[in-house]
Amino acid sequence: MAQIQAHRLVRLRALLVHAERHVPHWRDVFRTHDFVPARMSHADELQRLPTSDKDTVVREGDRMHADGVPHGEDPSPVAMQTSGTTGAGMRLLMSKGAHREQWAVCWRYRLWHGLAPGTWCAQLGGRLIVPIETRLPPYWRVNWPGRQLLLSSYHLGPATAEHYLEILARRRVPWIHGYPSMVTALADFAASAGVRLPALRWVTLASESTSVEQRARILAGLGVVPREHYAQTESVANFSECPHGRLHVDEDHALVEFVPHGTGPGGRTTHRVVGTSLDNWHQPFVRYDTGDLVVLDDAPCPCGREGRIVAEIDGRREDVLVLADGTLVGRADHIFKGLEFIREAQIRQGAAGAVSMHVVPRGAWTSEHAALLRAAAEARLGSDTAIEIRVVERIERTSSGKLRLVVREGGS
């Protein structure tokens, strides 16, 4: 671990020196707090700086971007966008080297479980695969070069589940990857129908935290122990589940701080996940508050891997929306991607086929903003879903201080 920390410090210092020279926002922040990256001798010195968040990034705009990158780094970044669990849209730039490293860390975790590149994978994520108006199968598309069966997350329901299970069985797909909410729904349909997928060997989960109940339902319905990976588009923290079921911090990927936040269920201390990227030369993220809360686990892991261990993630667990025909939609954050005029949002549902979208705008709310939000929602929930938009000043948090993006209320 000492070797990892020393290597991480070298990379951290190099990135911060670069940020001081080439990123206007960080140059001003460092000057204000009398912080000289070249003199850093320990990562803890970074705590002299304030945390940043999505509001910082959106407010500062191009001042967060570097006016140059080191020699040998590809000058063309990857343009990305995110919304996360708050519904706040944000655009960002990522260096191609940083993008490759994030995928390398992800594949390292998959290799721990015997998953090799080139394995056929069925994906249940948030992308639009087929038009929401589609009423007959196929509800999927095949990416032959990528060896992926891309399943729509916006058509899975009681009337269509048999088609999903049939294509998975017919193609003998060995690996399912997706949102825990949607994979759990698929597992429930499989259990109810008594369908088994004998070729299935791996189930991996991402983008939402996974409850103990969901893990049990996936195992019961699909016959496979699911494995979890935590990451975010900003690439400031990664946690990977080992074969013993423990979530390990990928200490060599980013500098991750766990800032004490409060007391959670059972009297356990919760911590905010604050991270600093090590290789995003185009848009460095420094002390970036992800908004997620975790509980740490101090017990050593039998796998022997070094680094800190996360026992539980609070902040990515959402309810599932139900459309009028019974179709289930999990993790609706894709509705808000790119909508930077929204500071935070929450989707509430009291009855199937109808939703109320509560939004806190970043500035003045306009009819154009409402039209853009409605169009994005209808593209994923369908034009027959009743959509109400309410502009509010604040959205209520959970007892732990977290904002839930989707809330199913009584009567749904």
pLDDT tens-place string over residues 122-155: 999 888 899 999 999 999 999 999 999 999 999 9
Contact 378, 329 (CB under 8 A): no
For residue 84, what pLDDT is reported? 63
Tens of pLDDT, residue by residue over 44-55, are 999 999 999 999
pLDDT digits (tens, 9 = 90+) for 315-361: 555 678 899 988 888 777 788 888 889 988 999 999 999 999 999 99
Tell me the pairing of strands 254-263 and 269-277: antiparallel
DSSP string computed for 293-351: EEEEE-SPPTT---S-EEEEEES---PPEE-TTS-EE--GGGGGTT-TTEEEEEEEEEE
> Is 258:307 a contact under the CB 8 Å cutoff?
no
Please report whether residue 392 resides in a domain.
yes
Last residue of a domain, one of 314, 344, 370: 314
If you ran DSSP here, which 8-state letter would residue 279 be given?
S
- 81: domain CATH number? 3.40.50.12780
**303 and 392 share one domain:** no
* Domain span holding position 271: 2-105+231-314
Single residue among 314, 342, 370 that ends a domain in this structure:
314
Average pLDDT over residues 81-105: 85
Q: Contact, 358 vs 395, CB < 8 A?
A: yes
What's the pTM? 0.85
Q: Are residues 271 and 337 in the same domain?
A: no
Total count of domains within the chain: 2
Residue 404: which CATH number?
A: 3.30.300.30
Residue 334 has a pLDDT of 80
* Residue after which a domain boundary falls, among 314, 348, 365: 314
